[in-house]
Homo-oligomer: A and B are copies of this chain.
Amino acid sequence: MDEATRAAFRVEGDWPMLRRHRIRWAECDLYAHVNHTAYLTLFEDLRVAFWEGLGGRFGQDAIGPVVGTLEVRYLRPAGFGDEVLLTCRTASVRRSSFVHEYAMWRADGLACSARGIIVVTAGPVKAAIPEAMRDAMIAQGARSE
């Protein structure tokens, strides 16, 4: 993340993955605010890109990430047309799960943060995260547990 971006959104901490976004009409509700679930769909986009970035795929025949738990804090409501920054990082990794952190930043700072345990599964059962993926997560800053 370059310093201009960091300053523009008052980003705190290290985030290896980021994406700009403009709040869509379909993401907003009667209050002209982003619906509380739309933040999570945007974070899902990051998770998908993260997984593909590690060489992962999606499909009935592939191991894939599934949300096990999620803790979300809604701090400042983003509104229609807002230019925001979305960030993602892996806090830690275990044999078949990892902890992901997400944030949405506005010009005045953190709008929403989330932290979740992401379980890697093959259909209905847990699957071991391949060595190369684990290594890549750790190289990006994840703590091995």
A77 to B60, CA, bound (A): 15
Interface SS majority for chain A: mixed
Please, which residues of chain B bring their CB within 8 A of the CB of A31? 60, 64, 66
A24 to B52, CA, bound (A): 13
Contact in complex: B26, A35 (CB < 8 Å): yes
A71 to B72, CA, bound (A): 6
Q: What does the 1/0 interface line of A47-87 toward B look like (CB < 8 Å)?
A: 01000100000111000101111111110010011000000
**CB closest chain-B residue, reference A47:** B25
A143 at the interface (CB under 8 A from B): no
A57 to B42, CA, bound (A): 24
Contact in complex: B30, A32 (CB < 8 Å): yes
A16 to B2, CA, bound (A): 33
